[in-house]
């Protein structure tokens, strides 16, 4: 049996299979983006697919605290769009 790695949602702190979480990465160049592969380099944060958690996560202030850097509103919007597209696909 293949074991699926588990990660914790940064908002609700519940554990999920890695593939059931969204991974958001902040890389060295300061970019913040959604990482569908789960393999991108950088500081990653996992958030589960519940509406409430995604909403809370995609908050400029929250992201700035989580990644300890300034986050532009359009970056937040881009990630939000990527996540909502992803949600519709499942």
Nearer to Zn ion among residue 57 and residue 67 (C-beta)? 57
CB of 14 to Zn ion, least distance (A): 6
Nearer to Zn ion among residue 54 and residue 71 (C-beta)? 54
User: d(Cα 76, Cα 31) in Å, to the nearest integer?
Assistant: 11
Specify the DSSP class assigned to residue 19: G
Nearer to Zn ion among residue 24 and residue 48 (C-beta)? 48
Contact between 10 and 57 under an 8 Å Cβ cutoff? The reply is: yes
Contact between 56 and 65 under an 8 Å Cβ cutoff? The reply is: no
CB of 69 to Zn ion, least distance (A): 23
Name the site residues for Zn ion (rule: CB under 5 A): 9, 11-12, 48, 53
């Amino acid at each position: 049996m293949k074991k699926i790695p588990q990660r914790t949602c940064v908002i609700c702190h519940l554990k999920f299979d890695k593939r059931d979480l969204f991974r958001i990465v902040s890389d060295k160049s300061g970019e913040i983006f959604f990482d569908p592969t789960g393999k991108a380099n950088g500081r990653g944060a996992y958030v589960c697919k519940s509406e409430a958690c995604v909403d809370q996560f995609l908050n400029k202030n929250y992201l700035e605290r989580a990644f300890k850097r300034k986050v532009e509103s359009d970056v937040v919007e881009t990630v939000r769009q990527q996540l909502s597209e992803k949600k519709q696909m499942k």
